[in-house]
Structure 1
Amino acid sequence: MTYALIAVNVLVFLRTPGVASSLVGESGLADLCRLEAFTDRWAAVPRELIHDVTPRLVATGQTGVGPAGPGCLLAPPDYVKSPPLSVLTSMFLHGSWLHLLGNMLFLWIFGDNIEDRLGHLRYLLFYGVCGYAAAYGFALADAGSGTPLVGASGAIAGVLGAYLVLFPKARVWVLVPFLFFLPLRLPSWAVLGLWFVLQAVYSYGTGVSQAGSVAYLAHVIGFGTGILLARPLRRHTCPPPEPHGPQWGRQARPGGPWRW
C-alpha cells in the first residue's frame, strides 16, 4: 500500500496542469488558469469543509481580459463538488516537485514499517483517518478561509506519529546541516520529536503559520492523531528493519495553496 500510495501521488502530480511547463520554468497565464481550475475542483477548502458549501464561481481554465487586465475567467461550476470527498482528492495533490518529493520521501522511509505492523487494509484506513483529521482540524482553525489545501502531509504526519509510538528506539540516518551536511544515525524519537516541535512552534498562536504557505497545524494534528491511534498497538511490536543509507526530510517553499 505504501508503494501504491507513492505511485498514485506521482501519477496525479504528472497529470496536474502546468507540470510539464514547470520543468522548464515557463508557466504562462494559460497554465496558471488551468491549474487554478484543477485546484478549485479537487482541493479541499476550509470554508467549504466547515460550512458544507460549494463555491458560486470557480475558475474555468480559460483566460480573458477584464478591467484589471488579463486574468482567469470565472463561472458557476459545471460539476458537483463534495466537500468531504475533496479531502480525499486533496491528499493526492501537490503544489510543486519539492512538495511532492519531500512528502514521498517521508512516506517511503517510515510508511512500510507501519504497514507491516498494521496490515495492508488497516494501514490504508489509518492513513485516511489521519489525513481527514488533519484537514478538518486545520479547517476549524481557519473556517472562513477560501485558500485551497493540498498535499499528503497530514496523513504522512500520522504515519510519523505512529512510528514514534511503535518504534521509538529505532535509529535512522539523517543529514544534519552543520557547515556541511553531516550524516548521523539518531534514534527516531529524537528525529521525529524535533520535527514535531518545529511544526508546533511554526503553528503556535495563529493556528496557521504566516511564514509561507505551509499548513503546519495540519501536520501537528495529523501527528497527534497518529500517536493516539497507534498507542493501543504499542505492546509486542518488533523493531523495524534497519534503514540503508542516509535519509532526510524536506523544506517546503512558500507560494500557491496551503501545502501539508
Structure 2
Amino acid sequence: MFPIRDHNPSGRTPYVTYILMAANVGIFLSYVGIMQDARLISGFWADWALVPARLDQGQGGYTLISSMFLHGGWMHLIGNMLFLFIFGDNVEDEMGHIGYLLFYLVAGAAAGWVQYLSAPFSTVPTVGASGAIAGVMGAYLLLFPKAKVDILIIFIIFFRIFPIPAWIMLAVWFALQFVGGVGSDPDAGGVAYWAHAGGFIAGVILTIPAWLRRGGPSFWERTEGHPPHPEAHYTLVKSSVPKVPRRQQRPRGPWS
C-alpha cells in the first residue's frame, strides 16, 4: 500500500518542494557512478552520511543535514521524491516558501537525531530524505486530516486504487514505522524506522504553532480538514486496447 497522488492542488507554485526534489536528484546523480565501488562509496558515506558513532564523539554534526540529501539507490530516491511531491506542495502553501524550507531542514535534522539516540554507538551510515519527508507528512496530518489521498493496493496479481482520508493513510504509515522500529536492530542496518517516526512526530510538533494561529480545531471546521482549494477529481480513462473474447473449447472425447 502506497500513495500515488492526492486530490489537493496547491494554491501557488511550490518552488521549494521542486528545488528540494531537484537537489536530491542532482546530488544522487553526482555520485551514483561510484556506488559499485565499495571503497569509494564507503569513503563517501563516511564523509557525508550520518554515522551515529561519529556524532557520539562530537564529530560530523553537519551530517544531520547532508545525509538527508543522499540516497542508497534509485528506488530509495524515487520513493522519497514521490512522497515529497504528494505531500510537500500543500504544506509549503500553508507555511510559505522560507518557513517551509526551515521546517523541512529542522524536521530532517530532528529525525537524524532520533536515529542517533536509537543506537548512539552504531557505525552504520544513515542516508535519505525520509526523515524530513516524514516531518512533512506529520504537518500534512495536522493541517489536512481529511484530505483525499489515492493509494495503490497491490496483493499478488490484484491491484486497485482507493481514495481514502489522509489521516488513515498517515496513521497506518506511522504505526508501521513505530512497530518496525521496536522490532528492528538499528546496528544491523536496513530501514531507519526511528528516523521516520522521529521526523513524523517532529513535523507534528513543529506545525502546532501554525495550526493554532489558524484557529486550531476551528481551522478544521472552516476547511473541513481539507486544503483551502477546490478539490481535484480524477477519472479513470478507459483502455483503448480491444478485448479478445475467449473461444469456448469443445469437450474432447475419450478417443483423443
For the aligned pair, the TM-score class normalised by the smaller chain equals 0.7 to 0.9
Equivalent residue number for residue 42 of structure 2: 36
Instruction: For 1:42-57, list aligned pairs within 5 A.
Output: 42-53=48-59
* C-alpha contact 1:45 1:148 (8 A) present in aligned 2: yes
Tell me what 2:176 maps to: 198
Unpaired segments of 5 or more residues in structure 1? Answer: 54-82, 247-260
- For structure 2, the 5+ residue unaligned runs are 1-15, 236-256
Measured on the aligned residues, the alpha-carbon RMSD in Å equals: 2.1
Greater percentage in strand: 1
Q: Offset at 1:245?
A: 5.8
Shift of 1:50: 2.5
1:180 corresponds to which residue?
A: 158
Which structure would you say has the larger Rg? 2
- Secondary structure of 2:186's match? coil
- After superposition, the Cα gap between the structure-2 partners of 1:230 and 1:209, relative to the gap in structure 1 and judged at 3 Å, is farther
Which residue of 204, 208, 216 corresponds with 2:186? Answer: 208
The one-letter code matched in structure 2 to 1:190 is I
Q: Is 1:109 aligned to residue 86 of structure 2?
A: yes
Higher helix share: 2
Q: Which residue of 2 aligns with 1:71?
A: none
Following the alignment from structure 1 to structure 2, what is the Cα–Cα distance between the partners of residues 181 and 230? 35
Normalised TM-score (structure 1): 0.74
**Aligned match of 1:151:** 128
TM-superposed deviation, 1:111? 0.3
Question: Is 1:3–2:18 an aligned residue pair?
Answer: yes
Q: 1:49 to 1:169 in 2, by over 3 A?
A: same
Q: Structure with the greater relative contact order (CA < 8 A, sep ≥ 6): 1 or 2?
A: 2
Return the offset for 1:86. Answer: 1.4
- The CA distance in 2 between the partners of 1:245 and 1:50, in whole Å, is 49
> In 2 relative to 1, CA 243–142 (structure 1 residues): closer, same or farther, beyond 3 Å?
farther
Amino acid corresponding to residue 34 of structure 1 in structure 2: L
Aligned-partner residue type, residue 180 of structure 2: Y
1:190 Cα deviation from its structure 2 partner: 0.5
Instruction: Tell me the matched-pair count.
Output: 207
Distance 2:206 2:187 in 1: 26
